[in-house]
Copies of this chain bind each other. A is one copy, B any other.
Amino acid sequence: MHRTKVRVVEDALDANNTIAAANRSDFERSGVTVVNLMSAPGAGKTTLLERSLEGLAEAGVRVGVLEGDVAGSFDADRISVLHLPVVQLNTDNGFGGECHLDANMVRSALPAVPLDDIDLLLVENVGNLVCPAEFRIGEDAKMMVCSVTEGEDKPLKYPLMFRSCELVVINKIDLLEHLDFDVERLEANILQVNPNATVMRVSAKTGEGVDAFRDWLTSVSARVGATA
């Protein structure tokens, strides 16, 4: 049973990569850079977007958001007040309640995304530290948010996720004074599994460090066409 299962997973990943390449072609044709945004549930992805996306319009970067969730449109509703194009993609509608976005799910949502009117598409994945890292969606960059309430050991327990991301945002640093949490140890664990990672300390709640994240988004959006 195990061998069969592995083969099915490999076939699924092959098909996924084919569709991811098709997504990439569409993104490149429209000049859109795509960021795959991942985290555990409740790490603060949506709050980080709420804090950081408004300033991007002034920097000349037109942003769209694709919100992935198992159920509901809570995050899309929150982002919609920013007057950005936002599309909700639920994995329980015909996708069996999947714990991650894959290339085919993203492809099914693309007709609703105004690719020609944006420069940067942020895809907020399902909250999960395992499977989202395994499925390409046609993105230019993978990034993640981890929160100081989650424990310093997470990079060692979920190495693939931390290894696959070029940016790791450490969120909720406003809570550090109330926690027994060693943020240097978390950073060392991140760099142990991914020595090339860019690591930022942020409080999406207070706004501390959000400018650096906004600068990163701006630099990523200038990357379009440079990668394949």
Query: A interface vs B, CB < 8 Å?
Result: 1-2, 5-6, 8-9, 12, 15, 40-42, 69-72, 74, 94-99, 104, 126-131, 134, 147, 149-151, 153-154, 156-160, 172, 175, 178-180, 205
Query: Please, which residue of chain B has its CB at the minimum distance from the CB of A69?
Result: B157
What chain B residues lie within 8 Å of A6 (beta carbons)? 96
Q: Cβ of A71 and Cβ of B159 under 8 Å apart? A: yes
Q: Cβ of A99 and Cβ of B131 under 8 Å apart? A: yes
For the complex, give the distance between the alpha carbons of A130 and B70 in Å: 8
Q: Cβ of B74 and Cβ of A2 under 8 Å apart? A: no
For the complex, give the distance between the alpha carbons of A1 and B157 in Å: 32
Choose from B70, B98, B149, B159 the contact partner of A172 (Cβ within 8 Å).
Answer: B149
Q: Cβ of B150 and Cβ of A42 under 8 Å apart? A: yes
| Nearest-Cβ distance from residue A109 to partner chain B, whole angstroms | 14
Central interface residue in A70, A72, A98, A175, by most chain B CB within 10 Å: A70
| Nearest-Cβ distance from residue A51 to partner chain B, whole angstroms | 14
| Nearest-Cβ distance from residue A144 to partner chain B, whole angstroms | 11
Query: Please, which residue of chain B has its CB at the minimum distance from the CB of A147?
Result: B149
For the complex, give the distance between the alpha carbons of A8 and B12 in Å: 11
- Pairs across A and B, CB under 8 Å, 24 listed: A1-B15, A1-B104, A6-B96, A9-B96, A40-B42, A41-B129, A41-B157, A42-B147, A42-B149, A42-B151, A70-B130, A70-B160, A72-B156, A97-B130, A99-B99, A99-B131, A126-B130, A128-B128, A128-B129, A128-B130, A149-B149, A149-B175, A175-B178, A175-B179
For the complex, give the distance between the alpha carbons of A149 and B151 in Å: 12
